[in-house]
Structure 1
């Protein structure tokens, strides 16, 4: 099935966009885990139209009900990859979806892995993009730092370049869905807690808190869940510092790929996210209509 609009993220920006695209008769799919930071907001007092404080959960649930009533589809899944050929392909833990246009609205970038001194090796053996840098590690020993489906997805991408891949969980228990468990036999797993990295002029290996160490040519960070910035780095999207760059239509430098919400680095408020979602929707609607007949 080909969607007119696929929205990555179930927060205010994504749902706001879905309301507009659905009302414009675009076949719209929203993908995301129910993990918005807004769920932790017990009282919201500065959002327009509410005389009394309202919880973040209430706002999110009301928005989703509105989008569903209008005809949007919402899928609870984790996005692990995004590609564009003729159309966009959004890769999730439980399947793939194709769309004419995509909105990146997954919230703020995830925090970097808690490994002391990792910043010193960024670009010198530590990478955040298997698509960008995997080629440089052909037939070499590499690792993926992470413990979720996202880490397994990145490790699988590295198999195109080397069979010597280890997943380092940094002391965390693996949290892998059934869809990815059968892939685990292709990798070694190291659950040791990392003390730091070592190497002169570049990464040479990992030091563990138990006193052991392991030599390594390259380390790819896929800690926690993939963020909008991860997708941006893989696809060559222009960045503004640590945030995704966009124009007045909320479109990135990749045609048909839009962004909204906290991942844009703008004032992190619900009202801003909702407004950006609406602006992005207008751009997506125009983009799809220029392509021709909406998806059925």
Structure 2
């Protein structure tokens, strides 16, 4: 949650309705005054702890001048908010990796410090490896994996 610190002591919302949204909301509870997961009209698919609010109301609009201030729902109710985080979908999938025989740890692909998996020449980067689910980390991981792949290919020419 690289932007979370901007919302210390503030009210935030996470738009989503899966494990990814729950993960992001959980991280924000350490920083924000209150965290609400908004499923935008979808039925709840996750078990939400008591310290996180949940709403399945459909969002009509988000208001504010230079900053987000309020979410207006289809039923005309509102939620005062200081920030919104979007966490729709899943953070990563290991189905293909498992089929290839790659070692996984929970829902993450296991890699070493060079982003290498247990299969020689196969590298992974980004959200599928776990840790911080942030673009900046994924970019770094990708650059590292790419560099290590080039080294591997140069050292294993036939």
Secondary structure at the residue paired with 1:174?
coil
CA distance in 1, matches of 2:13, 2:134: 21
The one of 178, 181, 191 equivalent to 2:56 is 191
Within a 5 Å distance, the mapping from 1:58-207 to structure 2 comes to: 131-176=1-46, 181=47, 184-207=49-72
CA distance in 1, matches of 2:11, 2:19: 21
Alignment of 1:213 onto 2:75: no
The residue aligned with 1:233 is 135
Shift of 1:190: 1.1
Question: Runs of 5+ in structure 1 lacking a partner?
Answer: 1-130, 239-250, 259-279, 290-296
Q: 1:236 to 1:135 in 2, by over 3 A?
A: farther
Shift of 1:136: 0.4
Instruction: Provide, for residues 116-150 of structure 1, a one-character-per-residue CA deviation record: whole Å limited to 9, x for no partner.
Output: xxxxxxxxxxxxxxx21000000100111111111
Q: 1:175 to 1:284 in 2, by over 3 A?
A: farther
Shift of 1:286: 2.2
The residue aligned with 2:100 is none
Q: 1:148 to 1:285 in 2, by over 3 A?
A: farther
CA distance in 2, matches of 1:222, 1:168: 10
CA distance in 2, matches of 1:196, 1:175: 23
TM-score w.r.t. the length of structure 2 is: 0.63
Q: 1:202 to 1:143 in 2, by over 3 A?
A: same
The residue aligned with 2:99 is none
The residue aligned with 1:252 is 142
TM-score w.r.t. the length of structure 1 is: 0.35
Q: Is the 8 A contact 2:29 2:52 kept in 1?
A: no
Q: Is the 8 A contact 2:39 2:57 kept in 1?
A: yes
Q: Is the 8 A contact 2:71 2:79 kept in 1?
A: yes
Q: 1:186 to 1:220 in 2, by over 3 A?
A: same
Alignment of 1:286 onto 2:156: no
Shift of 1:197: 0.5
The residue aligned with 1:27 is none
Q: Is the 8 A contact 1:152 1:184 kept in 2?
A: no
CA distance in 2, matches of 1:214, 1:192: 11
Flag the structure with more relative contact order, 1 or 2, with Cα contacts below 8 A and sequence separation at least 6: 1
Question: Runs of 5+ in structure 2 lacking a partner?
Answer: 93-125
Q: Is the 8 A contact 1:154 1:222 kept in 2?
A: yes
CA distance in 2, matches of 1:158, 1:171: 22
